[in-house]
């Protein structure tokens, strides 16, 4: 009888331990402040385990020959926010464009009709306009105010932001 009670007691203790462990596993993992940060928060430089900044690695931009052969211009929409008027301008890839009646100048870099990025490379997955993007640098009074990619299908991803003007990529143009 005593042996049976011990076996039952050991069984109950093991059951409690197993159930208790399962409940701990099912509890949600608390989010760290980094996980709770909004998507629009500026990115902080990566830190090594020793507390020193890890240098940012420049991604190589690779424009396939098939893309270079087909796509040689882009069309921008530029909005004057005060007058609520928009104008479209077609600009050659690899050129500079002075926006009329403003102090803005746009340097047009690479156009990728099917933008793709991995840890080392930015390229176009095809020559079809599945995810059109153009790299630009925008100057105001000779000072860089924006440097990055504009996406025609996703204009709110890393947008050009200015109090007076809006700038979006409308499309790439085959030449």
Q: 175, 166, 154: which is closest to 88 by C-alpha?
A: 166
Model-level pTM?
A: 0.69
Query: Which residues of the chain carry a pLDDT beneath 50?
Result: 7, 14, 16, 18-19, 21-44
pLDDT at residue number 151: 98
Angle 127-128-132 from CA coordinates, rounded to 5°:
95
Question: What per-residue confidence (pLDDT) applies to 175?
Answer: 84
Task: Render pLDDT for 96-146 as a digit per residue (tens, 0 to 9).
Answer: 999 999 999 999 999 999 999 999 999 999 999 999 999 999 999 999 999
Query: How many whole angstroms separate alpha carbon 144 and alpha carbon 119?
Result: 26
CA neighbours within 13 Å on the CB side: how many for 159?
16
Joined tokens for residue 33: 């402040």
pLDDT of residue 91: 98
């Amino acid at each position: 009888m005593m042996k049976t009670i011990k076996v039952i007691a050991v069984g109950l203790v093991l059951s409690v331990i197993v159930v208790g462990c399962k409940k701990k596993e099912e509890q949600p993992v608390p989010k760290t402040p980094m996980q709770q940060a909004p998507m629009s928060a500026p990115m902080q430089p990566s830190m090594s385990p020793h507390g020193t900044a890890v240098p940012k690695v420049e991604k190589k931009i690779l424009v396939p020959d098939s893309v270079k052969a087909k796509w040689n211009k882009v069309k921008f929409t530029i909005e004057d926010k005060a007058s609520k008027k928009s104008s479209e301008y077609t600009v050659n890839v690899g050129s500079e464009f002075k926006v009329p009646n403003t102090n803005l100048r746009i340097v047009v870099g690479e156009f990728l009709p099917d933008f793709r990025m991995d840890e080392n490379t930015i390229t176009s997955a095809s020559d079809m306009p599945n995810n059109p993007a153009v790299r630009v640098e925008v100057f105001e009074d000779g000072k860089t105010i924006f440097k990055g990619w504009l996406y025609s299908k996703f204009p709110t991803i890393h947008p050009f932001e200015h109090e007076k003007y809006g700038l979006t990529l409308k499309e790439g143009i085959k030449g």
